[in-house]
Structure 1
Amino acid sequence: MTWQLRRAHEVDLAAIMQLETSIFENDAWSATMMARDLGDPACYYLVAFPPDDPTRVEGYAGLLAPRGATEGDIQTIAVADAARARGLGRTLMQALISEARKRGARLIFLEVRADNPGAQRLYERLGFIEVGMRRGYYQPDNVDAIVMRLNIPELESMLTTPALTVHS
């Protein structure tokens, strides 16, 4: 399956929140928090959808990277169950890494649940390395977060990845 990506806006909030609350049952962001990030110019959020149905959001991801800052942070990423294991998470992450580079970031950080080995493997394949642990970070489940960092590769090394089309 192929997806199209486009910049997320407040009109996407309901679809994003539907995924957010179904995937992150106990530690989902509130709609207020998500709306704040969608409207923040320091943030860059994408939604993924099938080309024939732009209203069917099957994934989203968000980056906090103020223009000119040397560091960015992956705020969140989620892929619908039906769209998993098909490369959508990788596609979303690559698009965020590319945007972070455009904004001037040279490092990207993220937290991942210690009990989510699938996500950890994805991030490792993208070049992230483990740099720390936050005990009990995910509440109310009291699950540790593994802190990971990516040294953003130079553009030349990224040219081997498939081209991404992101619509504004």
Structure 2
Amino acid sequence: MDEILQQVGGLVLGSVPTMVLFVLLVVAYGLLVRRPLDRVLAERRARTSGAVEQARGAISAAEAETEAYENKLRAAKNEIYQARDKKMKQWIAERDAALAEARLATQAKVESARQEIEQGAAAARQQIEGATAELSTQILKAVLPAGVEVAQ
């Protein structure tokens, strides 16, 4: 057993420089490679996630602007439709007023023409009545013999 312990002790003693070199290599790797690499990766991750967050912010801002634009556009269309409806109502009212005025004028002309016709008919009746007596006298003179006198 002594021999085995001596051999193990010799192996351990021979491996000490390798262990020291291994520990130095791990420390050097940590200092020279791992820390700078972690720093670069963290910076890249920060930039990437920052860019992604910035892109998300830009997208949300663009969506907000789009929504605001759509709201303004909707409001402008609504305003145009209201103005058009108001103008149409105004034109309809003007047309109705013109039609009413034309109806009144036409009714006045019809009434005036009716009165003129009635006056003409009354004048014609009076003229016919006045001419009736004279015509009957003339008819009697024409029908009766020449010596007979017609009484009026």
| TM-score of the aligned structures, taking structure 1 as reference length | 0.13
TM-score by length of 2: 0.14
Between Structure 1 and Structure 2, the one with more strand by share is: 1
Task: Answer with 1 or 2: which has the greater Rg.
Answer: 2
